Amino acid sequence: MTRRKYVVGNWKMNGLSAAIGEAQAIFAAADDHAVVDVAICPPFTLIGAMVAAAPGKAVGGQDCHSATSGAFTGSVAAAMLADSGASVVIVGHSERREGFAESDADVRAKAEAGLAAGLSVILCVGEPREVRESGGAIDYVLAQIAGSVPEGFDPHRLAIAYEPIWAIGTGLVPTVADVAAMHGAIRGALTARFGGAAEDMRILYGGSVNGENAVELLGAGDVDGALVGGASLTAAKFVPIVEAAATL
């Protein structure tokens, strides 16, 4: 099974309208590497402008509410993202799980909402440092998979992003062997649950990915791409990761 590489930029709470030019530069450079799927998930405020500035490119949201509408001040429904032109949404990022106390059930409900709205979903999982050091990382992440991944979806529309919490924005990176072991365990769990359909699901790695380590990390077993944070804010830092993916 050959899965297309997938490189996604998560801009988090960064970016004003002046940053649209960076997104245009990223997408323009990505056109030279058509074997790689590239998406950018900016703040909600930039989605419409980015879609307009880069027509036909994959732009997404960083979160969505599980409800279709209602009295949820400050929240955004998946259908609202789709209406703004988004084609993908991230759910379950550790900054949501930890900072907003989102449970596996919450993440699953958000994934279901995103899929129901016609979006592709990137569902994040990952362990804190103390769990990694205690030797329980794989069990911890597989429990998140069991509790967060919904049923009855098109496997081409849901990707898993493994992001060890202790590696996000810290400069710390797990060994390639550790990444391969975790991705292999995730693939095994998905296969046990969904059978052959799991072969179509992409598993991304996230956590201090940059142009220097991208080839090594993306070349590890069962790594189908990257979910990139800080290094996705500029073309100068993000495009080398796309270029690395294109060589694999």
pLDDT at site 147: 98
Alpha helices in the chain (DSSP H): 20-30, 47-53, 78-83, 94-99, 104-116, 129-134, 137-148, 176-194, 214-218, 235-246
CATH topology for 5-233 is: TIM Barrel (3.20.20)
pLDDT tens digits, residue range 227-247?
999 999 999 999 999 999 999
Enclosing H/E stretch for 205 = strand 203-205
Please state, in angstroms and rounded to a whole number, the distance separating the CA atoms of residues 156 and 119. Answer: 11
Please state, in angstroms and rounded to a whole number, the distance separating the CA atoms of residues 128 and 103. Answer: 15
User: Residue 90 in 3-state DSSP?
Assistant: strand
Active site positions, annotated? 93, 163
Please state, in angstroms and rounded to a whole number, the distance separating the CA atoms of residues 136 and 153. Answer: 29
Write out residues in the chain with pLDDT < 50, as ranges.
none
User: Is residue 140 packed enough to be buried (19+ CB in 10 Å), middle (13-18) or exposed (0-12)?
Assistant: middle
Locate the domains of the chain by residue range: 5-233
pLDDT at site 169: 86
Sign of the C-alpha dihedral, residues 143, 146, 147, 148? Answer: positive
pLDDT at site 29: 97
Are 183 and 142 in contact, with CB atoms under 8 Å apart?
Answer: no
Q: Does pTM surpass 0.85?
A: yes
Which residues make beta-bridge pairs with 159? 122
Classify strands 120-125 and 36-41 as parallel, antiparallel or unpaired: unpaired
Residue from 203, 215, 211 nearest 231 by CA: 211
